[in-house]
Chain A
Amino acid sequence: MAEPRPARRPGWRPRDLLRLAGSASYDLLRRAYAFALIVLIFWVSFAAMKYLVVSLVAPLETPAQVRAIPSRMDEELLHGRRPDWLGLRSVENPRAPLAYYHRLTSWLPPDNANTCTRSGCHGPLPHANRIEVRAFLNMHAASIHCGVCHMEHERTPLSLTWYDRESGRASEAPVLLRALSLLQELGDPPRADDDARARLSDLLRRAARAADNDAALERSAAHLAAVRAATPSFPRIVREARDVVNTSLRGAYGVKLALKDAAGRPVLAHPGTAAAIERYLREGPRATPEQREALLAAVHPFRRPAAIVCTDCHRKTGGVLDLAAAGYPPSRIQQLQTPAIFQMIEHIGRGADFHMPQIVTTPVEPRAPHTQPAPR
């Protein structure tokens, strides 16, 4: 006969406690879930009814995407991000700003690393004083950081590096310039192996991306990718690519040139001036002219008394820029330092009229229709 089991002692066992805690947590969770549902259902229902009533009583408004044509050529257009000022993205051919007329499918890319323009002090087109050169100077803002011309530097030629417009980090020379170098290395008539051809195609494709998906560069890259280096079509396609690259040299590189510090980093602002910039922005508008001078001096501790001028760079000898060291191929250096350009700049700098030299008015060779027989 089995012994009777001892009676269970009254009191809470750990398992009971756990069960109780689990049950309480479940109940709490259930209540919280119910409350969240109340909020959600009330909000959605209210929004739905509000929409109905507002759509009946509120005056008609033209939808934003139709009003989005950039109608004025004003400061807002200058600061707006690309999709905004280009107007309606869903439309195949968004029209240009009203007063501009020409197509504007791409424009100045934003420089997210340039403190001078990001701080709210200077715009992306900062030069506005000298009527003769202001547009020309702004032209350089797409590919050269302000500091190259406006900040003190001990060495001549200047110590330079390229930097990525998005990240501000030091970068290699622009892929477009590297593509041009490679194209020249192929000689005339062009000769290359398939490795060089593939490298060239890749460089052109990346250059097209950097230049806002430039169609001509993309097409050249595609042609080079499609043809073998040993085929008869190859020299013609290389020559075409040279033409395309030459006409695409317009500063849309995806990288910009800046001064280089001792550690090899690009100098994108006057060092240690963040507080001074903030102070200037805060106090500048109410400051007296003297105070304003002092504030500005604190913002620009390394400012050159006189900025580098155009002829300091666009000269064959003794220039402050070592373009070759910066990655420019010889043909491009020759274009930038041609005496005609130097003379033009000198004339303009003196305020004299400069009549177009032959080099400028001579048209480029008419390019063959871009749909050539497909290589077979």
Chain B
Amino acid sequence: MTHVATRLCQPIRLFTLCLCAGLAWLLCGPPAVAQDRENCLYCHRFPGLSRFDPGSGRLRLFYVDPAYIHEAQGPHAQLACTDCHAREPLEVVPHRPSPPVDCTRTCHITDLSGNSRRFSHENVARMLEQSVHTDAVLHGLRFTGGPLLADNQSRCLYCHDEPLFRMPLALESPVGALQDRAFARCNVCHATQLPLDVEFATRHVLSRLDPARRTLELAQVCAVCHSDPALRQTHELPNSVASYLRSFHGRAALLGDETTADCLSCHVANGANVHLMLASAHPDSAIHPENVANSCRSLTCHPGADRAIAGTSVHLDLPGAVGSLEFALAAAFILLTAVSFGPSAAIVLLELAQLVIGRRHPRAEHVEKVIEQIVSHPEGRARLRRFTITERVQHWVLAALFTLLALTGFPLKFADQGWARMLVDAFGGMYMTRTLHHYAGVALIVGFAVHVLDIFRVVLRRTRRVGPAGERLGLYQAIATLPVSITLTDLRRAGAQLKYLVGLSNDRPRFGRFTATEKFEYFGVMWGTTLLGITGLMLWFEQATSHLMGGWAFNIATIIHTYESFLALIHVGILHIYNVILAPTVFPLSLATLNGETPKSKLAEENAEFVIDVAHSLGIPTEEPQHG
């Protein structure tokens, strides 16, 4: 006996015993309950069993989707209609007016052990009375355009419709794929000898492992009240759903991420009941200033973060935050975008205008002839290549990474657009999209580091080189004379180019190997990669950032990351694509970054100085005919 007791007390065996007892209770249950016991679907399965009341403007649907019951789609599928609707008025046809459905009414349901039990949602009503959503509050709601529910309808309908079973996300694919076969094995015995609707019981239990609603569905439910203009005005509420959906979490939700924080993740304390949601001022509220850090640091969200993570503004409303650092930063980036993108776009538009009016600098034809002479020289073609093979490879690596980063990053910025969701789905969902974005970012940072090291190598070599007079370049001079360095001459030439393009001058400035625009573009890539890399890492490693900088850094990093990437996108997407594909001088594609050969007309128009230098080095005469 003692021996048996000792064995039973061993924890693993005890657990196994409990599990077996539980399974036995589960499986030795009642027969499958008859669906639609009162046969109400005899009429109510017809979709047209409905009417429109022109007087009140109300649509009355008496149709009940039979699939919910026949397919046992939710926990209420095995309830009789009269468990919720009073029986007496329904016994005659047409039915007499029946009292409203009271969700706290006690009904009799058959539990898994086959016993009839009393059941009611009254405890939920009691919870609500302790929460911010009391019956009095819900009763007093005034919506834009009039009430949403009839006077006598249950106010549970503000948040709830007919509940559905949903498979927990973690089990969705394995159980979804196997359930028919798995349940079929159970049914071999349980459909006949120990009648039990195994599937119904299993799905009922499994569906409770995750919240009843998907992330975005929850936002929809909250938006019914919290996005209603009249209601927000009456209750002085901010548009919290809109600001949530502009946040990092909300955008991910819009793109179908089921693991991102939803409204309840923050507003309901970990392990607490949603019906006990409290106002932020309540000391027990999950979003009370004292508790909000712990809400962020829950095991399922950011467990290793510092308390300072609570300093971030989840519901950041930029348009409403005039005077804040975030607003100023966003405004500064918009200004930067206008200042950097505007002149480049203006130059492109003016260049095109020259073509439309048929204006061409007379020197261009001469330079084209020089180019022809250079090309006919055995070494000429190689000398005219503006990009080395290494530079071309770097360009295409950058182009591929940029494209991937834009495709995986911009859906998040434009998450409410239909194409964004399609794109994310095409990448295999939000998880895959995010992973691709992260690792493409890492690759870009590595590539950037390699490029910077290469520049250092070149600069170092230049400082060591001894000139004809025995002089050496200083570090500053070695950097300033790099072909891509922006100098005062470039600024002057850019000004002169603008003057020529608007017709204030007849002399078009001559650029060397790289034009001023190309140099600015290159500077933009360097600056942008640095900013995007730093802020990207801050957002990726959010727990470390919370320790190093605090929660405020997330809003700042998000603003910088999104606005800088937008600037990069329009620069590349509009101006760079024009310069290398659409411009009439290179159309249909400039081969400069493929085989290094820039089209003749583009060289003649934009890089005349470079052409002349090459001609001189090959001993080709470049005397320009006089034109007046």
Interface residues of A, Cβ cutoff 8 Å to B: 27, 30-31, 33-35, 37-38, 41-42, 44-45, 48-49, 52-53, 55-69, 71-75, 77-78, 87-88, 90-96, 98-109, 123, 125, 127-128, 131-136, 138-142, 214-216, 247, 250-252, 344, 347-348, 353-356, 360-364, 366-374
Neighbouring B residues of A71 by C-beta, 8 Å: 143, 148, 224
Beyond A42-B349, A60-B317, is A134–B227 a contact (Cβ under 8 Å)?
Answer: no
Neighbouring B residues of A135 by C-beta, 8 Å: 49-51, 60, 62, 94
Say whether B625 faces chain A, with CB atoms less than 8 Å apart. no
C-alpha gap A300/B177 in the complex (Å) = 56
Contact B52 A61 (CB under 8 A): no
**Stretch binding the partner chain, chosen from B33-41, B126-134, B605-613:** B33-41
Q: Bits for B548-591, please: 1 = Cβ < 8 Å to A, else 0.
A: 00000000000000010010001000100010001010010000
Q: Select A93's contact among B143, B188, B214, B421, beta carbons within 8 Å.
A: B214
Given contacts A59-B319, A142-B47, A371-B183, 4 further A-B contacts (CB under 8 A): A56-B330, A58-B319, A91-B216, A102-B68
Beyond A138-B49, A369-B199, is A61–B93 a contact (Cβ under 8 Å)?
Answer: no
Contact A128 B331 (CB under 8 A): no
Give, as a whole number of angstroms, the nearest-CB distance from A174 to chain B.
Answer: 15
**Stretch binding the partner chain, chosen from B109-117, B351-359, B522-530:** B351-359
Contact B166 A92 (CB under 8 A): yes
Q: Select B162's contact among A30, A31, A103, beta carbons within 8 Å.
A: A103
Contact A251 B319 (CB under 8 A): no
Max chain A CB contacts within 10 Å: which of B48, B181, B254? B48
Q: Select B223's contact among A67, A347, A355, beta carbons within 8 Å.
A: A67
Contact A38 B353 (CB under 8 A): yes
Contact A374 B181 (CB under 8 A): yes
Say whether B5 faces chain A, with CB atoms less than 8 Å apart. no
C-alpha gap A27/B101 in the complex (Å) = 78
Neighbouring B residues of A374 by C-beta, 8 Å: 180-181, 184
Say whether B533 faces chain A, with CB atoms less than 8 Å apart. no
Neighbouring A residues of B220 by C-beta, 8 Å: 66, 68-69, 87-88, 91, 94-95
**Stretch binding the partner chain, chosen from B150-158, B434-442, B473-481, B535-543:** B150-158
Contact A348 B416 (CB under 8 A): no
Q: Select B71's contact among A61, A215, A348, beta carbons within 8 Å.
A: A215
Say whether B242 faces chain A, with CB atoms less than 8 Å apart. yes
Max chain B CB contacts within 10 Å: which of A30, A55, A106, A134? A55
Contact A90 B421 (CB under 8 A): yes
10 A-B pairs closest in CB distance: A63-B416, A34-B355, A60-B242, A142-B48, A62-B227, A139-B48, A371-B183, A366-B34, A96-B161, A353-B92
Give, as a whole number of angstroms, the nearest-CB distance from A342 to chain B.
Answer: 13
Neighbouring A residues of B197 by C-beta, 8 Å: 369
Say whether B520 faces chain A, with CB atoms less than 8 Å apart. no
- Looking at chain B, what size class is its interface with the partner chain? 35 or more
C-alpha gap A210/B566 in the complex (Å) = 46
Q: List 22 A-B contacts (CB under 8 A).
A: A31-B355, A48-B574, A60-B242, A60-B319, A62-B241, A63-B245, A69-B223, A72-B145, A73-B58, A78-B52, A91-B220, A93-B214, A95-B220, A99-B150, A103-B162, A103-B164, A106-B47, A108-B50, A355-B93, A363-B37, A373-B185, A374-B181
Interface residues of B, Cβ cutoff 8 Å to A: 31-39, 41-43, 45-54, 57-68, 70-71, 73-74, 91-94, 101, 143, 145, 148-150, 153, 157-158, 160-162, 164, 166, 179-181, 183-185, 187-188, 191, 197-200, 213-214, 216-217, 219-221, 223-224, 227, 239, 241-243, 245-246, 254, 256, 317-320, 327, 330-331, 334, 337-338, 341, 345, 348-349, 352-353, 355-356, 358, 416, 421, 563, 566, 570, 574, 578, 582, 584, 587
Contact B180 A371 (CB under 8 A): yes
Neighbouring A residues of B181 by C-beta, 8 Å: 374
C-alpha gap A103/B241 in the complex (Å) = 24
Contact A65 B254 (CB under 8 A): yes
Beyond A72-B148, A247-B45, is A125–B184 a contact (Cβ under 8 Å)?
Answer: no
Contact A48 B570 (CB under 8 A): yes
Contact A66 B245 (CB under 8 A): yes
Q: Select A107's contact among B36, B63, B239, beta carbons within 8 Å.
A: B63
Beyond A69-B224, A374-B181, is A123–B52 a contact (Cβ under 8 Å)?
Answer: yes
Contact B52 A62 (CB under 8 A): no
Q: Select A364's contact among B39, B52, B148, B219, beta carbons within 8 Å.
A: B39
C-alpha gap A92/B210 in the complex (Å) = 14
C-alpha gap A107/B48 in the complex (Å) = 8
C-alpha gap A347/B161 in the complex (Å) = 35
Give, as a whole number of angstroms, the nearest-CB distance from B260 to chain A.
Answer: 14
C-alpha gap A100/B587 in the complex (Å) = 59
Neighbouring A residues of B213 by C-beta, 8 Å: 93
Neighbouring A residues of B65 by C-beta, 8 Å: 102-106
C-alpha gap A355/B89 in the complex (Å) = 10
Give, as a whole number of angstroms, the nearest-CB distance from B427 to chain A.
Answer: 15
Contact A99 B157 (CB under 8 A): yes
Contact A140 B161 (CB under 8 A): no
Max chain A CB contacts within 10 Å: which of B71, B158, B356? B356
Neighbouring A residues of B45 by C-beta, 8 Å: 247, 250
Give, as a whole number of angstroms, the nearest-CB distance from A96 to chain B.
Answer: 4
Neighbouring B residues of A108 by C-beta, 8 Å: 47-48, 50
Contact A37 B49 (CB under 8 A): no
Q: Select A101's contact among B162, B185, B345, beta carbons within 8 Å.
A: B162
Give, as a whole number of angstroms, the nearest-CB distance from B611 to chain A.
Answer: 23
Contact B48 A354 (CB under 8 A): no
Q: Select A369's contact among B46, B162, B183, beta carbons within 8 Å.
A: B183
Q: Select B39's contact among A139, A216, A363, beta carbons within 8 Å.
A: A363
Max chain B CB contacts within 10 Å: which of A38, A73, A94, A373? A73
C-alpha gap A274/B504 in the complex (Å) = 66
Contact B584 A52 (CB under 8 A): no
Neighbouring A residues of B416 by C-beta, 8 Å: 63-65
Contact A73 B578 (CB under 8 A): no
Q: Please, which residue of chain B has its CB at the minimum distance from the CB of A251? A: B46
Contact A74 B57 (CB under 8 A): yes
Neighbouring A residues of B153 by C-beta, 8 Å: 99
C-alpha gap A90/B566 in the complex (Å) = 26
Contact A125 B223 (CB under 8 A): no
Q: Select A62's contact among B143, B180, B223, B327, beta carbons within 8 Å.
A: B223
